[in-house]
Chains A and B, each alone.
Chain A
Amino acid sequence: MRLVDKTIKLNRRSFLGSSAGAAALAGVIGTFSDGGAFAATLKSVKPAAAPALLKVARDLYPHDRLPDAYYETAVTTIDAGVAADQATKTLLSDGVTALDAAAVRLKGRPYTKIAPEADRIAVLKSIEDTPFFTKMRSEMITALYNQPEVWTKLGYEGSSAELGGYIHRGFNDLDWLPA
């Protein structure tokens, strides 16, 4: 079978010399994660709230094979949408405050300081009905899973028509089943 190479081949140097789009730029630069730089990109929250949002993003849809960069891109996308809308401008900052309050109440410490994943999940479950949680959960579906590099990491090849479809590229190459 033709398998999918799940490594991301672009690197920052070769990328900057090319003319690919801004979305790819965010993804590629993000691959070389720098937490401080990420926090500074957020518009609707103070940098101090960034690590909690990042942790929530990963706890919602945890993929151990994905580096933080893709979760940072997702949070940046959600934050940009929230910041652009007067009605939701404080949703993330208020949400992190409430999240930490719930974390302290249930586990005695702020969210990012809770080491066991199961304990953080318990905190998230306690706020499942809040607008903050709902926003983060529903937006993550596109903010994380609509990143083409995440597709590659999960073995999905994306657009195929320009490559002639799969007629000569393995549409029927499964060979491990009994005939």
Chain B
Amino acid sequence: MVTSFDLNDDSVVVVIGSGAGGGTLSNELAQKGVKVVCLEAGSRYEIQDFVNDEWESFAQLAWRDKRTTSGSWRVAKDFPNLPAWIVKAVGGTTTHWAGASLRFQDHEWKARSTYGDIPGAALLDWPVTAEEMAPWYDKAEFKMGTTGTNGIPRLPGNNNYKVLAAGAKKLGYQDFHTGNMSINSQPRDGRGSCQQIGFCFQGCKSGAKWSTLYSEIPKGEATGKLEVRPDSQVIRIEHDAKGKATGVVYADREGKMFLQKARIVAVAGNSIESPRLLLNSASNLFKDGLANGSGQVGRHYMRHTTGSVYATFDKPVHMYRGTTMAGIVRDEARNDPKRGYVGGFELETISLGVPFTAAFLNPGAWGRDVSSALDSYDHMAGLWIVGEDLPQANNRVTLNASEKDRFGMPIANVHYDDHPNDEAMRSHAFRQGAALYEAVGAKRTILTPPYPSTHNMGTNRMSDKPEEGVVNKWGQTHEVKNLFISDGSQFTTSATENPTLTIVALAIRQADHIAGLMARNEI
């Protein structure tokens, strides 16, 4: 049954975005009997449409609408119009994500209290505690079928993992395994088990990897309460004279404009589009942007302290075979300021095919330094550093003053400067990653700078005090009672872990809260 709601139906919840936040929230609300219209800017591709080809898949799935960049981060130089590697399609970035599903460590919910007052950083404690989140993490892991939880066995390690594990052991690390992955290690929830295809980033062709595209959304649609509208780019959120959200204006593929009325609006467009939409929804009542009386919308953009280490060996590795990110070393994830920085980092296996290795290994470089590394491509192992980066008020998404998109709306500029803490952590992580591979005979190690960001967080952050953030502990904006933020832009701090599990846990919790408010007629 294909449900369709009327544009004038002002009893629906409009969810903007269908990824980890929006797709999960849409299904959870539909399961509770709430009517939902989910507007997705991208098209709907199914599993059979995915392609095992890096550039072709990028053209199919990536959010390629122009953005601009500024700041001292290297991405601004190497990829000035591509600050983020995220997805514009039904399922959002859960089509592209690698599946790593880690809970925050307890102290990470209390970053300000734990790390203290770090100059240049705008740290806060989350208004939510580890204890409060624990049951929602339980639900998220069960929903996603995360390995290493709920009695689900971990995935088998691939060749790239074998190198990582052997190096970790030699270095004396103890907490390493194939991760907590939301990729089926055995058939579950109507989906089969991982076939070790190796193209996790390009959309999982076996459906073993959890994605809202084929897990949450069809379940929500089956209730008759959820309508997903692909190719629907939201332009602005409308409100009434009292400052209550009343609906959203969106454009279809041809640029035709529609107004969908709403009882509640939930924004989940990822941490660049979500603040952009609020800023582009400025009005006489909200002169600096919707829900932006505090001036906090767009601020505290975080993208994790990342980098990769690739190493070449005498003998073959074929790192591209099998699950891309099923391998992790967690020994450095703790907070131990004696290392010269606060927070910690994970080391996770990563691999790229030849096309993306050429593009990302050392962007802009040429000559034998690069080509000799590619000559050893099949003898190469790789790991990705994921560490906590610190919120800074001026790392922010703003509207570009001169450039507009095809609908005439200002595009986003993403500004990022590394904090000295990020630099100290990255440099230590690079050293450890290189040492890990050298311990098992690497002939050469290559330190690869951060890719365009897939982890984007913090631009509508949660705060107790309205003046310090954009949303409260439920993701409800401080200023507009029926406007919610449901993606990673709510993050108060980035923590060390890959963000998706926490986004999903927050969305399940938020759905429960919203349904309660609606049932009690409080909204």
Residues of A within 8 A of B (CB): 1, 3-4, 59-63, 65, 121, 137, 140-142, 144-146, 150-151, 154-162, 164-167, 169-174, 176-178
Most buried by B among A160, A164, A178: A160
CB-nearest residue of chain B relative to A64?
A: B375
Known contacts: A63-B375, A171-B158, A173-B159. The answer to whether A158 contacts B52 by CB under 8 A is yes
**Cβ-defined contact, B321 with A171, below 8 A:** yes
Inter-chain contacts of A154 with B (CB < 8 A): 354, 374-375, 377-378
Q: Does B198 contact A (CB under 8 A)?
A: yes
B163 within 8 A of A: yes
Shortest distance in angstroms between A77's beta carbon and chain B's nearest beta carbon?
13
Chain B residue numbers with a CB within 8 Å of A61 are 358, 366-367, 370-371, 374
A162: B residues at CB distance < 8 A: 52
Are B375 and A65 in touch, CB under 8 angstroms? yes
Nearest-neighbor residue (CB-CB) of A6 within chain B:
B378
In the bound complex, residues from chain B placing their C-beta under 8 Å from that of A177 are 162-163, 166, 440
Q: Across the interface, do B162 and A161 meet the contact criterion of CB distance under 8 Å? A: no
Stretch at the interface among B126-134, B225-233, B311-319: B311-319
Starting from the known contacts A140-B366, A142-B355, A166-B322, 20 additional A-B residue pairs (CB-CB under 8 Å) come to: A1-B318, A61-B374, A145-B357, A145-B358, A145-B374, A146-B55, A146-B355, A154-B377, A156-B354, A156-B378, A159-B51, A165-B194, A165-B206, A165-B322, A166-B197, A171-B158, A171-B322, A174-B316, A174-B317, A174-B318
Counting CB contacts under 8 A, is B243 at the interface?
Answer: no
**Least CB distance, A179 to chain B, in whole angstroms:** 9
In angstroms, Cα B92 to Cα A127, docked, is 42
Structural contact, B321 and A166, CB atoms closer than 8 A: yes
CA A174 – CA B349 in complex, angstroms? Answer: 15
Q: Establish whether residues A178 and B55, one from each chain, have CB atoms under 8 Å apart when the complex forms.
A: no
Q: Taking beta carbons and an 8 Å cutoff, which residues of B are in contact with A?
A: 50-53, 55, 156-159, 161-163, 166, 194-199, 205-206, 315-318, 320-323, 353-355, 357-359, 364, 366-368, 370-371, 374-375, 377-379, 440
A171 to B198, CA, bound (A): 9
Instruction: Report B-chain residues with C-beta under 8 Å of the C-beta of A144.
Output: 358
Distance, CA A69 to CA B370, complexed state (A):
20
Q: Are B367 and A121 in contact (CB under 8 A)?
A: yes
Known: A61-B370, A172-B156, A177-B166. A161 touches B197 (CB 8 A): yes
Which of A141, A160, A178 contacts B198 (CB under 8 A)? A160
Residue of B321, B323, B367 touching A170 (CB-CB under 8 A): B321
Question: Given A165-B206, A176-B315, A156 and B320 touching (CB < 8 A)?
Answer: yes
Chain B: which residue is nearest A161 at the CB level? Answer: B205
CA distance A59 to B368 in the complex (A): 8
Which residues of the other chain, A, contact B374 by a CB distance below 8 angstroms? Answer: 61, 63, 145, 154
Of all chain B residues, the one with the shortest Cβ separation from A63 is B371
Question: B residues within 8 A CB of A3?
Answer: 316
Given contacts A137-B366, A172-B158, A177-B163, contact A165 B198 (CB under 8 A): yes
The answer to whether B322 and A174 touch across the interface, beta carbons within 8 angstroms, is no
Nearest chain-A residue to B161 (Cβ)?
A172
